[in-house]
Amino acid sequence: MKVDLTLKDVLEAKERIKDICVKTKLIYSPEFSRESGNEVYIKPENLQITGAFKLRGASNKISKLSDEQKQKGLIASSAGNHAQGVAYSAQKLGIKATIVMPETTPFIKVQSTKNYGANIVLKGKVYDEAYEEAKRLKEENGYTFVHPFNDVDVMAGQGTIALEIIDELKDVDAIIVPIGGGGLISGISVAAKSINPDIKIIGVQAEGANPMKISFDTGKLTYADKVDTIADGAAVKQPGDLTFEVIKEYVDEIVTVSDQELMEAVFVILEKHKLIAEATGAMSLAALKRLNFKGKKVVSLISGGNIDVVTIASLLNKGLFSRGRIFCFSVNLQDTPGQLLKIAQILAEEGANVIKLEHNQFKSVDRLKHVGLEVTVETNGYEHIEDIVKKLNDHGYDVHRVC
């Protein structure tokens, strides 16, 4: 099956959406460049009007609808970012929009979509269940369905990202793109490869939601029975058949990343660049460690930043531990005065900031002679932790890592 998507379609989409979407400028990342051994630039689509790239594809699709279709109204299914793109575009054009979202969608995405005037229907635990409900409502009410990825006009809109990247960084060697259903990477790969076939297009999926990688590796479109990842925006069990055909032809490689790597990427993005990315949005930065080349100019796309405060607080907390910025350990001390002071002095000399300390006589093998001490400290990373442990060992303390 040949998908009729060309560079011409993407160029026309660029003109069609220029007054709706903003051009997001590349940001050079010293931190990710150092860690990956490449020259890394961030494409911050989290700074798009609706907080994600999805506005591009939705606005291109909706702008092409007939007057009759616009009058009857639109319907879409989405975990959040496509929903906001459809809602915003529909509001700009005065069109009624209904959005079906999974019941697990973060509150911020539901509320933001409502704020753009859309009618919200919550259905199912994952995207695919919301999709089935949207199809039912489409037939029942005569709405036009705006697919989040498996649509040529949507792909063309997403492809405008590649035009902006190449316009700003003409000698880009590789573009790393998150994959859920495949619409984003389809548009980007067609545009980029049509301009310069030597640009490598690398897709990223979460380990717990990777049916497109399996499809790509086997050459056969494959669906997942279940998905399990913190990257809710890419938790798609059924990737598109149209996007699969494009990906087979234009994409060079697809890699996977773990949820822990996603949490670390979210943490580094916020700490080093003061940018907020949702877990799905951080996939392409987490994937930098998977690259099998060095010294190249690489663009990693932050696909979205719509994340609620509670979720980001949890991710950042876990990121602190996974990056070695928080260290929790226990030691047994002699049950004599001054032992706690010795530990405090060692930690002070090593520059470790004590966050929490629990001095518990009941956390030891022999509480008649020893007491248990559990300490949580703020550190500068794994090397700092090693220095702390060595110093404690040198003073005769047996350190047990708690977390």
The catalytic residues are 54, 303
Tell which phi-psi region holds residue 333, choosing left (phi > 0), alpha (psi between -120 and 50) or beta: beta
* SS3 assignment, position 97: strand
3-state secondary structure of 206: strand
**How far is it, in rounded angstroms, from Cα 131 to Cα 398?**
55
212: amino acid identity, one letter:
M
C-alpha torsion sign, points 209, 212, 216, 221: positive
DSSP bridge pairs for 375: 329, 357
CB of 376 within 8 A of CB of 308?
Answer: no
Q: Of 85, 123, 86, 131, whose CA–CA distance to 105 is shortest?
A: 123
CB neighbour list of residue 101: distance below 8 Å, 6 or more residues apart: 77, 78, 79, 80, 83, 109, 110, 113, 120, 121, 122, 123, 130
Alpha helices per DSSP H over 81-125: 81-93, 107-115
Q: How many Cβ atoms from other residues are within 10 Å of residue 273's Cβ?
A: 19
| Structure-token pair, residue 360 | 């518990």
Q: Are 280 and 232 in contact (CB under 8 A)?
A: yes
